[in-house]
Amino acid sequence: MHWSHKAAIVLLIIALVLALNHYGVFKTLLKQFKAEKINEEKYVWVDAKEYFEKTVFELNCTTEWFELKKKIPLPCIIVLNFSNVKYYWEHGSVSIDLIFDKTWKGKIETEEGEEEVEFIGIHYTTFGGRSVCQYGKYYLEARGLSVDGIVVLNLSKEVAKANIVKIYLSADMSYVKLKIIKIGFPKQ
């Protein structure tokens, strides 16, 4: 192979890496691989039915939102079970939005650069690109979501003295069965 062909291949690989980095793919993947293992003995576990009217959901290109029976205090851990996930389109996604009763300041990236905003919740999504989610005048912090079997949403390091008050579940161009299994609160 001629040296110019090798150089062209190297430049294409560099361009691909830069493009993936620009769209936040690496950051999302790293967050998933760096996920902590949960030590179940450090938590008091309760059945999800204490907080949710319904714990089993079947979403087929739909969105469901609901208020909770009672607020879920933070910090906590929510254990979910995903099954039968199907994507009807290559850009289909599954997302979970958790809305809190307290805001915090943070930064988002815009075309003009970084901008300081107020967050009111978290937007977990399988979409690997950069996503900025707005909720009224507030924003939702975007995080990666795996939908392969048992999944743990670790909310043990979130804003202090806040509660989850509302949840949105969404299957965009996808189908998913989801069961909310249990919630863990750190032992005092």
Neighbours of 25 (CB within 10 A): 16
Contact 140, 119 (CB under 8 A): yes
In the chain the first and final C-alpha atoms are separated, in Å, by: 65
Instruction: With a cut of 80, say whether residue 36 has pLDDT above it.
Output: no
State how far the alpha carbon of 52 is from the alpha carbons of 72, 142, 153, 180, 183, in Å.
10, 23, 16, 9, 11
87-113 per-position pLDDT tens digit:
998 888 899 999 999 998 988 887 888
Q: CA-CA distance, 165 to 104, in Å (whole number)?
A: 16
What's the token pair of residue 104? Answer: 């915090």
Q: What is the pTM of this model?
A: 0.76
130-179 per-position pLDDT tens digit:
567 888 889 888 888 888 888 899 998 887 789 999 999 999 999 999 99
More confident position, 149 or 30:
149
Instruction: With a cut of 70, say whether residue 22 has pLDDT above it.
Output: no
Q: CA-CA distance, 110 to 53, in Å (whole number)?
A: 38
**Residue boundaries of the structural domains of the chain:** 3-33, 40-186
Q: CA-CA distance, 152 to 45, in Å (whole number)?
A: 13
Instruction: With a cut of 90, say whether residue 52 has pLDDT above it.
Output: yes
Show the CA angle centred on residue 23, arms to residues 19 and 28, nearest 5°: 120
pLDDT at position 169: 94
Mean pLDDT of 7-20: 77
